[in-house]
Amino acid sequence: MIKIVEVGPRDGLQNETALVPAGAKVAFVDALSETGVSEIEVSAFVSPRMIPQLRDATAVFQRIRRKKGVIYSALVPNIKGFENAIAADVEKIAVFTAASETFNQKNINTTVDGSLDRFRPVVKQAGKLGLPVRGYISTAFWCAFEGKIAPGPVVELTQRMMDMGIDEISISDTIGKATPEDVARLLDALLPKVPADRLAVHFHDTYGRGIANVLKSVSYGIGVVDASTGGLGGCPFAPGATGNVSTEAVVAALTQAGQTVNVDIKGLVRALKFLDPYLLAKPPALPSPESLACSTCEF
C-alpha cells in the first residue's frame, strides 16, 4: 500500500497570500482526517516573520480532532520550534534542509552544515520522547539559484541525516523542475545506499511532471508520497515554485496504475471546500471599454 502524506495544511497554506483563519484550517484538517491519508502535516513551528501564514500553528494543533491511525506532524527548524511543537502535542516532527547552500541561506538562514548542527539536539530530544522524525532535503534535483543538483551530494546528505537518527527522508523537488529521468538518476544513486522504506518523495508540479515523477518513484519501490489537496503549495523562498502535486491526482494515478492507496478522492474535494472562501481565485474583473482603447498600441 502506498502511504499518502497530506502536506496541504502546511506546504499548501504557507504560500497563500490570504491569511486563512485558524477555524477554516481546523475544518480542513478534520475533513482530511476522514479521507484515509496516513499522515497530515498540519503546520510549521517556524519564525512568524518568515511564514506569517502559519503563525497560528499552536492554536490549530489545539483544536484539531485527532483520528486514530492518522499521524499529525509539523515542520520544526530548531530547538525553539521543537519546544513549541511538543507543547502543542505534535506526533511527528519534520526538520528541513536543502542540497543547495544558497536556498538554505534564504530559507533557514544557515549553511547545510549549520542546519545539521541545529537538527542534532532536536533529533536527540525527539528520540528521548519516542517521536518519529522526518527530514526534508529540498532542491534535491534543481535549485532556483544554483541550477541542476548532482545526485552525489544528495546521497551524502541523506546518509548524514540518517546517521543522525532521522527516520525518514523526503526527497524534494522544491521548484517542480525534475523529470522522470532526473528521478531515476537520483534513485539509482540513492537506493544502493539507502533502503527504499526510509524514503519519501515530495514533488511540486510547476512543469506538470509531478504525477510522472510519482509513478517513476513508486516503480523504484518508494512507498511514501507527499501531496497537497487541491495542488496548493510552494515555498515563498524558492522563486518560481508552484503547488505540490495534487493529492486527488496522485490517488487517481496510483489507483489506475494498480497500486493500493485507500484514500477517498471525494473526501479530499469535500475537505478543500472549507478553504473555498479564502483561496479560490475570483474571476478577473472585465476590462472597461476605455482601458481596451489603447492609442499607443501598434497592432
Give the residue numbers annotated as catalytic, written as ranges. 235
- 3 to 39, 94, 98, 99: CA distances (angstroms): 8, 17, 23, 25
Query: 7 is written with which cell numbers?
Result: 502536506
From the number of C-beta atoms within 10 Å of its C-beta (0-12, 13-18, 19+), residue 210 rates as buried
| Footprint on residues 192-231 left by ligand HMG (CB under 6 A) | 202, 204
| DSSP H/E element including 3 | strand 3-6
From the list ligand HMG, Mg ion, none, which binds 81 (C-beta under 5 to 8 Å, kind-based)?
ligand HMG
Closer by beta carbon to ligand HMG, 238 or else 254: 238
Kindly state the smallest distance separating residue 298's Cβ from ligand HMG, in Å: 43
Residue 143's φ and ψ, nearest 5 degrees, are -125, 140
Kindly state the smallest distance separating residue 108's Cβ from ligand HMG, in Å: 4
From the number of C-beta atoms within 10 Å of its C-beta (0-12, 13-18, 19+), residue 179 rates as middle
Residue 109 interacts with ligand HMG (CB under 6 A): yes or no: yes
3-state class (DSSP) for residue 61: helix
Query: 94 is written with which cell numbers?
Result: 519534520
From the list ligand HMG, Mg ion, none, which binds 185 (C-beta under 5 to 8 Å, kind-based)?
none
| Footprint on residues 10-29 left by ligand HMG (CB under 6 A) | 11, 14
- β-strand pairing of 71-75 with 39-44: parallel
Are 202 and 7 in contact by the 8 Å Cβ rule? The answer is yes
| Binding residue for ligand HMG, selected from 50, 189, 191, 269, defined by CB under 6 A | 50
From the list Mg ion, ligand HMG, none, which binds 78 (C-beta under 5 to 8 Å, kind-based)?
ligand HMG
Site string for Mg ion, 4-43 (x = CB under 5 A): -------x--------------------------------
Please state the separation of Cα 173 from the chain's center in Å. Answer: 10
Residues that bind Mg ion (CB under 5 A): 11
Residues that bind ligand HMG (CB under 6 A): 11, 14, 44-47, 50-51, 75, 77-78, 80-81, 96, 107-109, 136, 138, 172, 174, 202, 204, 235, 237
